[in-house]
Amino acid sequence: MTVAGETGGALRRALLLAPAYSVLAGLFLVPMALLFAVSFWTVRSFRLRPDFTTAAYERVFGDYAGVLATTLSIGVATALLCTFLGFVFAYGVRFRAGRFGDALIVMALITLFGGYLVKIYAWKAILSQDGLVNSLLLGAGIASAPVGWLIYNPGAVVVALVHFLLPFAILPIYAELRNVRDITIEAARDLGATPAQTLFRVVLPQCRLGLFSAFAIAFLSAAGDYVTPMFLGGGSGMMLGQFVAQEFSTRFNWPAGAAMSFTLMGACLLVLAAAAMLVLRGRR
């Protein structure tokens, strides 16, 4: 192919992709750039002033560093649990369920139809002082009074987030496990590999991208959530997303909310970069 032909082909591809790139720029890149600019503005008398100051970021790192650390901790804990449970479920479906595998995947997806708030209120009913768990503990004589520490803490938030995000973690892992050929597993067994060796040396290396995808989806969704901690975390401001919502809605301090958003985004990217480095190191 001549240089002119290659140039023409590249131009045609660019023209075909132009509408998609235009939509991406208009709905994502431009609003993100505007919001980033607003993070350096100020608010006076409930009006935005296009100044340039880093006061909003200084406030985030000064007053909300602990909240940011808690947010990342909850996100990482949720992502690790979703990845582990998602792998166990996907592995069982792929290699143990046989002809019932497709039905199990469908059942996992059906749980998404229940609604996000429905799951939150369900866990609130289960973990509250007059909920199901306390009723069982009192009925069995294990506790003499309702247990209050089951709800309004980070553990309750993690449990609800895992319940909601687990199907999203199952799908990428299962997609990668489907690419693991049965003949590879049989060859490892014929060579004398134990089940544990087959798992860690044959199966896991072939589904690392699925594991990372599951971790990334669960982590980003959990770290950016503010509804679950509001209902199950006590409502006092456990995660940074709660403060972002307050700054944009009730306090009308858009620069502070934008600075919190981009700080959380940057911290999440650092966590994902560290996870990606571990995956690439493992692949080498």
DSSP label at residue 51: -
Structure tokens at 90: 């996907």
* Ranges of each domain in the chain: 64-283
pLDDT at 250: 87
What pLDDT was estimated at residue 65?
Answer: 94
Answer yes or no: is pLDDT of 235 > 70.
no
108 CB contacts (<8 Å, ≥6 apart)?
89, 166, 167, 170
Q: pLDDT (tens digit, 9 = 90+) per residue, 246-263? A: 999 888 899 999 999 999
Q: At 48, give phi and psi (nearest 5°).
A: -75, 135
User: Residue 49 burial by CB count (10 A; 0-12/13-18/19+): exposed, middle or buried?
Assistant: exposed
Give Cα separations from 50 to 37, 43, 90, 132 (angstroms).
Answer: 9, 9, 51, 53
Per-residue pLDDT at 4: 54
pLDDT tens-digit profile of 160-210? 999 999 999 999 999 999 999 989 888 988 888 898 999 999 999 999 999
Give residue 234's pLDDT: 78
CATH pick for 64-283 out of 3.40.50.720, 3.40.50.300, 1.10.3720.10, 1.20.120.530:
1.10.3720.10
Residue (of 238, 84, 83) closest to 157 by Cα position:
238
Mean pLDDT for 66-71 is: 94
Q: What is the pLDDT of residues 75-128, one digit of tens each?
A: 999 999 999 999 999 999 999 888 898 899 999 989 888 788 899 999 999 999
Q: How far is CA 66 from CA 73, 107, 151, 222, 228, in A?
A: 10, 39, 21, 17, 19
Q: What pLDDT, in 10s, does the model give residues 50-66? A: 888 999 999 999 999 99
Query: Scanning the structure block, which residue is given the tokens 């997303």?
Result: 241
pLDDT tens-digit map of 7-38:
667 788 888 888 888 988 888 889 999 999 99
pLDDT in the model for residue 83:
97
CB atoms closer than 10 angstroms to residue 169: 32
pLDDT at 283: 55
SS3 (DSSP) at 194: coil
Band (pLDDT 50/70/90 cuts) for residue 143 is confident
Which residue is it, tokens 């199952």? Answer: 170
